[in-house]
Amino acid sequence: MKKYVVLLLLGFLYLNSCTLVTEPERFYNDKAYPPELYSFDFENLQPGQHVDGTIRVIFNPSNITYDFDEILLVIDSAGYSTFETLPSVIELNTRHFDEGLHTISLYVYQKNKPHGLLNLLNPPSDIFQTSLYFDRTPPIPVQLTVTNINDEEIKLNWTENTDQTFFAYLVYKSINDADYLLIDTIYHRSTTAITDTNDLTLIGANYSYKVAVTTDYLFAYKSESNIGKCKLGNSFEYTFSGFKGGPYLDDERDLVYYLVDHQLVCFSTINNSFVNKVILTGLPTSGENLFFNFNKDKTKIYLLSIANKNLWVINSLNFNLEKQINLPEATRDFYVLDDTRIMLNNTDWLKIIDINANTILNTLILPVDTWAQFGAVNEQGTRLILSWWPQSVGHFFAEMDITDNNFQILRQIPSDYSHMPLVITKNKLYNNGTKIYDLSTFNFISIYPITFFNSFAAYDDKVAFLHYASSNLRKIHLHDIQNHLIKGWFIVCGQKMQVGHDKVFTEFGSENILGYSLNYGE
Amino acid sequence: MKILLLIIISFILSSHSNAQSNYNNFNHYYGVQVNTGVTFFDLEPLKDEFNASVDMIRNTYNIPMEVQDLYPPNISWSAYLFWYISPRSSIVIGPEYTSTRAYLMYQDYAGTFDVKSEIKLYYLSIGYRVHFFEVPIIQPFMGLNAGVAQTDFEMDSELNINNGQILETDHSEVTDVGYSFEPYLGCTYDLKYVVLELVTAYKIVMLDKLLIAPDNFNIKLGVKVGVFK
């Protein structure tokens, strides 16, 4: 027994003869591996290629299959921008850096990096690298040649650009010295010709073109070519000093009227020819607008001036001034009831005037809070449709019997608010240019889904909308009653013309309908 | 350490041949005893902090490093002079020493990261023990030691990435002195010329500066030799 106890003692002492806790071997993590560096070529950009301005490239490497926190774009050794998804569109403004060769790197920061101790330094897992030369040398301008082909096509040719920083050709167009508008962008260096067929509708106008070579996708840096010009057809021009109104259309006789200076001028929409003019005695040469109305068969023209209280009645067949009377209560809105009577609309009262005797035949004071805004006489001359607004109730069309002087309202039909003059043609009522009613039933015929336009004209089951195009250009879109676009064309406004040298243009075409003026729509 | 072992074995063998034969009266002597054993450390705050730091590195940086040793049980040594003031009670006085270590040693292709820590505990105690019975061969007893305690704490860390391109080292060292109390239970076994002793003890250590709670549980095996009265 004692021997066993002694042996137990000796064994215990032996086990305890050395320190139990000894230094272990290092744990070796064989699953960690270092980040990788790749040479990377951007699509359409070769390593060392010269670039300028802002470059825009798509980054979508195929070997990034892991989740990542972010991708850092590094120029040389400085971070530039980050993004968090793939594929990513990289935008880099090279003008933020010095000219010369730069290293472009994309650092992909993986989630749960497998890079062992390097993780402490937050290394990117993959680095994609290339180099580009930031070059601010302006591109050499191309030489442009412009050729008019039969007034229907304009051919543009230019010399090919050979700069390394080439990004695109930008083709600009200006009509009659208006602002240049970009009409085409061509990204192929070898494409050096185009044919313009768009908006070649401004007869007699100068069409100017230039081609710029841009070095970046934002078109911020470019060199422009010479300006190439050509003239399209021959226009009719009528010189005046002050524009007062128009165009006023007589589509039955293919005539268009304008009020300029102190005269009413008339042109043919068939051939642009000058037809006649009427001198309006007493009308100041500038500074006042006139209000224009036809009688029901358009054989007479009624012009009303609020400023000098004058009414002119002009025979539109022989252009004789038949009458000029003074109307002390002249209003902006007036309606021709027949050859002897007109109605003045002051919005809160209506007056029927005998223009032969220059007497007031009857007056209707509208109830308080009821306005009559615009009106139009039907083609038979028997009814006046007024935009009628008893404000506590809503908007109505008020159909008024105008065969006598009693202001008898025959019916009121709920309607929309009228913010533009009413137009009646072909037994249809056009409200605000976009809603067309049958004048007998007041049922909707069609609604134009056009919301933004400056003014409109309606005739012969068509509506022409005037749109803003640029500072001195407007565009007209002509629609049929089924809302199909028939044609579109430009008109020029007068902002860039010198005072005293304004001109009236007319345009004719298959529709023979509209003229336009330098100041129309202003 | 080996030399110490040889000295003890030689001492036992010589005692076996030369000791007096009146072993029944072994309680009536004074002498010396040597203890060796295993100490189990508490050190919970320190261990928790160590583990939390490693967890933070592992979770934040995705580095699969593990603590390899975290202050495990380790050997203890002590030596006492004893003197029986009665057949069932004696007084002991002497020093004691123990230590433990922690290791975290990590390596991958990029470099190494090592953390090494050691805690050393020194005691100088005086105690009183009482035997329950006067049994000739096996005698259970209980006792209480009290004294001063010194704790030395060291920690070294080294981060070496890319063969020293990034080399960060850190060394911290703290020494603290306090008090210790050690109640214990044990029994002796009479081998005629020497007496073996098996003791289980719990040592309470109170320090001022270090908040590492170095309380520990001990199992000790001792050898007693003495001079009979």
Q: How confident is the model at residue A512 (pLDDT cuts 50, 70, 90)?
A: very low
Cβ of A121 under 8 Å from any chain B Cβ? yes
Which residues lie closer than 8 Å to A500 by C-beta, 6 or more apart? A241
* Torsion, Cα of A127, A131, A136, A137 (10° steps): -160
CA of A521: how far to CAs of A386, A455, A479, in Å? 24, 7, 19
| A16, A21, A32: residue with CB nearest B108 | A32
Nearest-by-CA chain B residue for A18:
B1
Mean pLDDT of chain B: 85
Q: State pLDDT tens for residues B159-211.
A: 999 988 899 999 999 999 999 999 999 998 887 778 889 999 999 999 888 77
Given an 8 Å threshold on Cβ–Cβ distance, is A29 in contact with B221? no
- Taking residues A298-323, what's their average pLDDT? 91
Q: How confident is the model at residue A106 (pLDDT cuts 50, 70, 90)?
A: very high
| A18, A24, A117: residue with CB nearest B113 | A117
Nearest-by-CA chain B residue for A120:
B61
- The three-class DSSP label of residue A10 is helix
Cβ of A25 under 8 Å from any chain B Cβ? yes
Residue type, A439: L
Given an 8 Å threshold on Cβ–Cβ distance, is A24 in contact with B4? no
Per-residue pLDDT at B104 exceeds 70: yes
| A9, A14, A29: residue with CB nearest B196 | A9
More confident residue, B84 or A269: B84
Tokens standing for A4? 């066993």
Q: How confident is the model at residue A489 (pLDDT cuts 50, 70, 90)?
A: low
Cβ-based contacts of B110 with chain A (< 8 Å): 32, 34, 115-118
Question: With b meaning 16 or more CB within 10 Å and e meaning fewer, what string describes A153-192?
Answer: ebebbbeebebebbbbbbbbbbbbebebeeebebeeeeeb
Count of CB contacts below 8 A, A vs B?
Answer: 114
| Dihedrals phi, psi of B140, to nearest 5 degrees | -75, 150
pLDDT of residue A200: 75
More confident residue, B17 or A5: A5
Which residues lie closer than 8 Å to B3 by C-beta, 6 or more apart? none
Residue tagged 């270090």 (tokens): B210
Per-residue pLDDT at A491 exceeds 70: no
More confident residue, A518 or A30: A30
Residue A130 CA, chain-centre distance (Å), reads 42
The CB density around residue B148, as the number of other CB atoms within 10 Å, is: 12
pLDDT of residue A474: 65
Provide the percentage of residues in chain B whose pLDDT is more than 70.
86
Provide the percentage of residues in chain A whose pLDDT is more than 90.
46
Given an 8 Å threshold on Cβ–Cβ distance, is A32 in contact with B109? yes
Q: State pLDDT tens for residues A379-391.
A: 899 999 999 998 8
| Dihedrals phi, psi of A216, to nearest 5 degrees | -145, 165
| A2, A23, A113: residue with CB nearest B62 | A113
Q: State pLDDT tens for residues B8-54.
A: 544 444 444 344 334 445 556 788 999 999 999 988 888 998 999 99
Shortest distance, CA B103 to any CA of chain A (angstroms)? 7
Give the CA count within 13 Å in the CB-facing half-sphere of B191: 25
Q: How confident is the model at residue A274 (pLDDT cuts 50, 70, 90)?
A: confident
Per-residue pLDDT at A159 exceeds 50: yes
Antiparallel, parallel or unpaired: β A126-134 and A50-51? parallel
Q: H or E stretch including A247?
A: strand A243-250
- Distance (Å, rounded) from C-alpha A406 to C-alpha B37? 129
- Distance (Å, rounded) from C-alpha B139 to C-alpha B87? 12
Which residue, among A209, A105, A131, A220, has the nearest Cα to A167 in the 3D structure? A220
Give the CA count within 13 Å in the CB-facing half-sphere of B54: 23
Residue type, B93: I
- Taking residues A218-247, what's their average pLDDT? 80
pLDDT of residue A331: 87
| B74, B113, B116: residue with CB nearest A19 | B74
Residue type, B164: G
Cβ of A30 under 8 Å from any chain B Cβ? yes
Tokens standing for A510? 């298959």
Per-residue pLDDT at A277 exceeds 50: yes
Long-range CB contact pairs, B162-165, < 8 A, 24+: B162/B110, B162/B111, B163/B111
- Distance (Å, rounded) from C-alpha B194 to C-alpha A235? 137
What's the DSSP call for residue B55? H
Which residue, among A300, A309, A314, A357, has the nearest Cα to A331 in the 3D structure? A309
Q: How confident is the model at residue A320 (pLDDT cuts 50, 70, 90)?
A: very high
Cis ω on the peptide bond leading into residue B136 (within 30° of 0)? no
The CB density around residue A224, as the number of other CB atoms within 10 Å, is: 16
Strand-pairing partners, residue A399, are A385, A411
Per-residue pLDDT at A494 exceeds 60: no
CA of A164: how far to CAs of A159, A161, A402, A480, in Å? 15, 9, 77, 51
- Taking residues A77-85, what's their average pLDDT? 91
pLDDT of residue B122: 96
Cβ of A23 under 8 Å from any chain B Cβ? yes
More confident residue, B26 or A147: A147
Nearest-by-CA chain B residue for A112:
B62
Q: DSSP assignment of A377-393, as one string?
A: E-TTSSEEEEEEEETTT
CA of A237: how far to CAs of A35, A218, A404, A503, in Å? 75, 41, 45, 6
| Dihedrals phi, psi of B17, to nearest 5 degrees | -90, -25
Cβ of A116 under 8 Å from any chain B Cβ? yes
| A13, A19, A121: residue with CB nearest B5 | A13
In this structure, of A140-149, A312-321, A499-508, the range with the lowest mean pLDDT score is A499-508
Long-range CB contact pairs, A125-128, < 8 A, 24+: A125/A35, A125/A36, A125/A66, A125/A68, A126/A35, A126/A36, A126/A37, A126/A38, A126/A61, A126/A63, A126/A64, A127/A35, A127/A36, A127/A37, A127/A38, A128/A38, A128/A39, A128/A40, A128/A59, A128/A61
Which residue, among A314, A363, A345, has the nearest Cα to A418 in the 3D structure? A345
CB A511 within 8 A of CB A486: yes
- Distance (Å, rounded) from C-alpha A30 to C-alpha B106? 11
Cβ-based contacts of A113 with chain B (< 8 Å): 61-62
- The three-class DSSP label of residue A428 is strand
Given an 8 Å threshold on Cβ–Cβ distance, is B68 in contact with A27? yes
Per-residue pLDDT at A490 exceeds 80: no
Given an 8 Å threshold on Cβ–Cβ distance, is A121 in contact with B105? no
Per-residue pLDDT at A513 exceeds 50: no
Question: With b meaning 16 or more CB within 10 Å and e meaning fewer, what string describes A301-314?
Answer: bbbbbbeeebbbbb
- Distance (Å, rounded) from C-alpha A236 to C-alpha A255? 14
Nearest-by-CA chain B residue for A10:
B9
- Taking residues A499-519, what's their average pLDDT? 40
Q: State pLDDT tens for residues A167-196.
A: 999 999 988 777 899 999 999 999 999 999
| Strands, E assignment, A355-452 | 359-365, 370-377, 383-390, 396-401, 409-414, 423-425, 428-431, 435-438, 444-447
| B72, B112, B189: residue with CB nearest A21 | B72
Cis ω on the peptide bond leading into residue A247 (within 30° of 0)? yes
Shortest distance, CA A96 to any CA of chain B (angstroms)? 33
Shortest distance, CA A71 to any CA of chain B (angstroms)? 18
Antiparallel, parallel or unpaired: β A27-28 and B89-108? parallel
Cβ-based contacts of B112 with chain A (< 8 Å): 26, 117
**DSSP 3-state percent helix, strand, coil across chain B (nearest 5):** 15, 60, 20
Cβ of A3 under 8 Å from any chain B Cβ? no
Antiparallel, parallel or unpaired: β A383-390 and A485-492? unpaired
More confident residue, A48 or A483: A48
List, edge to edge, every strand of the sheet that includes A238-240: A238-240, A502-506, A515-517
What's the DSSP call for residue A406? S
Cβ-based contacts of A9 with chain B (< 8 Å): 12, 196, 221, 223
| Strands, E assignment, A60-190 | 68-75, 78-83, 88-93, 100-110, 126-134, 144-149, 153-158, 168-175, 181-186
Cβ-based contacts of B1 with chain A (< 8 Å): 17-19
Q: H or E stretch including B201?
A: strand B195-206
- Distance (Å, rounded) from C-alpha A217 to C-alpha B102? 62
Q: How confident is the model at residue A250 (pLDDT cuts 50, 70, 90)?
A: confident
Q: State pLDDT tens for residues A34-76.
A: 999 888 877 777 889 999 999 888 888 888 899 999 999 999 9
Mean pLDDT of chain A: 84
Note the ipTM here.
0.78
